[in-house]
Copies of this chain bind each other. A is one copy, B any other.
Amino acid sequence: MRFDTPVKLSELATLTGTRVLGDGSRLVSGINEIHKVEEGDITFVDHPKYYEKALHSAASFVIINKEVEVPEGKALLFAEDPFSVYITIVKKFRIFEKSEQAISPLSKIGAGTILQPGVFVGHHVTIGKNCLIHPNVTIYDHTIIGDDVVIHAGTVIGSDAFYFKRRPEGYDKMVSCGRVIIGNRVEIGASCTIDKGVSGDTIIGDGTKMDNMIHIGHDTVIGKNCLFAAQVGIAGVVTIEDDVILWGQVGVQKDLTIGKGAVVLGQSGVPKSIEGGKTYFGSPTQEAREKMKELAFVKQLPEIIEKLKR
């Protein structure tokens, strides 16, 4: 997330009761989770395993729970609990505001776009031209939707990332400040849910078509002209390239890539990255031809074992 205007690091230190290591007069332009950082961003790290990654990331500022040497070109905030400090900053700059009306006057709706009864449009939403949003759809704050988009009834765009930190006493919530961005000519079926990014964006590429009851996790980026059948579930931080086809009830685990033009058959589970241009089946997925062969061999097992006994 970009701040509307850059903020002095020392102001963030005062806001959060933390200590600056390095030059506190420098300007922070945004806040992002480690996998999305850019120059000018502040990020956080609280586990020794990731110290090096954070300190050498593109982020200019790091909230950290160890007093380390300040890397060249960076400045740090020292805090006992960097996760909480990060959340405090997010909440300060992306304040949740109750919606008094179903369609927020702070949002822009393009010409020719139809919003059916029961549609909710939160604050700071942009919807393009000639869209058709069917009844009882919910569009959370800050969502961006292109032109010629159809969204069927009951779908939810922009719900929070499912991202919690385990503490001894229970789970602590990561507050999402990212967005959902939907391209042109996208069609989304009924009762789908698309979560916003944690600090970056969940993106659905131009021309992609989704059937009903599809779940898309936070920060997942989907290419152009993909086709997803009903009840597909895609976890967070997934990259799906163009022209991918996922059949019904496929599940995709987090933090992986599905290559361009891949086809995944119904009920398969994708546990790690798969190459484009091929067809996959099974949970966990294998190449479909291989999996089918395997299933045929398993069918022969009783006979084989019988033979072996003799």
> A residues within 8 Å of B by Cβ?
96, 98-99, 101-102, 114, 116-118, 120, 132, 134-136, 138, 140, 150, 152-156, 159-160, 162, 164, 170-171, 173, 185, 187, 189-191, 193, 195, 206-207, 209, 211-213, 215, 217, 224-225, 227, 229-231, 233, 235, 248-249, 251, 253, 266-267, 269, 271, 283-284, 293-295, 297-302, 304-305, 308
Q: Closest CB-CB distance, A122 to chain B, in whole Å?
A: 8
- Which B-chain residue is minimally distant from A269 (CB atoms)? B267
Report the separation of the CA atoms of residues A8 and B155 in the bound assembly, to the nearest whole angstrom: 41
CB–CB A187/B173 < 8 A: yes
CB–CB B209/A162 < 8 A: yes
What residues on B are CB-neighbors of A136 within 8 Å? 118, 120, 136, 138, 154, 156
CB–CB A233/B253 < 8 A: no
CB–CB A235/B229 < 8 A: yes
What residues on B are CB-neighbors of A206 within 8 Å? 170
A294 in contact with B304 given A114-B98, A134-B159, A138-B134 (CB within 8 Å): no
- Which B-chain residue is minimally distant from A132 (CB atoms)? B96
CB–CB A193/B171 < 8 A: no
Report the separation of the CA atoms of residues A221 and B193 in the bound assembly, to the nearest whole angstrom: 25
CB–CB B269/A269 < 8 A: no
What residues on B are CB-neighbors of A162 within 8 Å? 189, 209, 211-212, 229-230
Q: Sort A-B residue pairs by CB-CB distance and give the 6 closest, nearest first.
A: A138-B153, A120-B135, A170-B207, A156-B190, A162-B211, A193-B212
Report the separation of the CA atoms of residues A211 and B160 in the bound assembly, to the nearest whole angstrom: 9
Highest count of chain B CB atoms <10 Å: which of A193, A271, A293, A295: A193
Q: Closest CB-CB distance, A220 to chain B, in whole Å?
A: 12
Q: How many protomers of this protein does the assembly include?
A: 3
Binding site of A, secondary structure by majority: helix, strand, loop or mixed? loop
CB–CB B251/A231 < 8 A: yes
Report the separation of the CA atoms of residues A266 and B217 in the bound assembly, to the nearest whole angstrom: 15
Q: Closest CB-CB distance, A272 to chain B, in whole Å?
A: 12
CB–CB B135/A138 < 8 A: yes
Report the separation of the CA atoms of residues A134 and B141 in the bound assembly, to the nearest whole angstrom: 11
Report the separation of the CA atoms of residues A126 and B251 in the bound assembly, to the nearest whole angstrom: 36
What residues on B are CB-neighbors of A224 within 8 Å? 170
Report the separation of the CA atoms of residues A304 and B152 in the bound assembly, to the nearest whole angstrom: 51
Q: Closest CB-CB distance, A55 to chain B, in whole Å?
A: 30
What would 4 more interface pairs be, CB under 8 Å, given A136-B156, A154-B191?
A152-B156, A213-B233, A249-B249, A266-B269
Report the separation of the CA atoms of residues A154 and B151 in the bound assembly, to the nearest whole angstrom: 14
Report the separation of the CA atoms of residues A57 and B197 in the bound assembly, to the nearest whole angstrom: 51
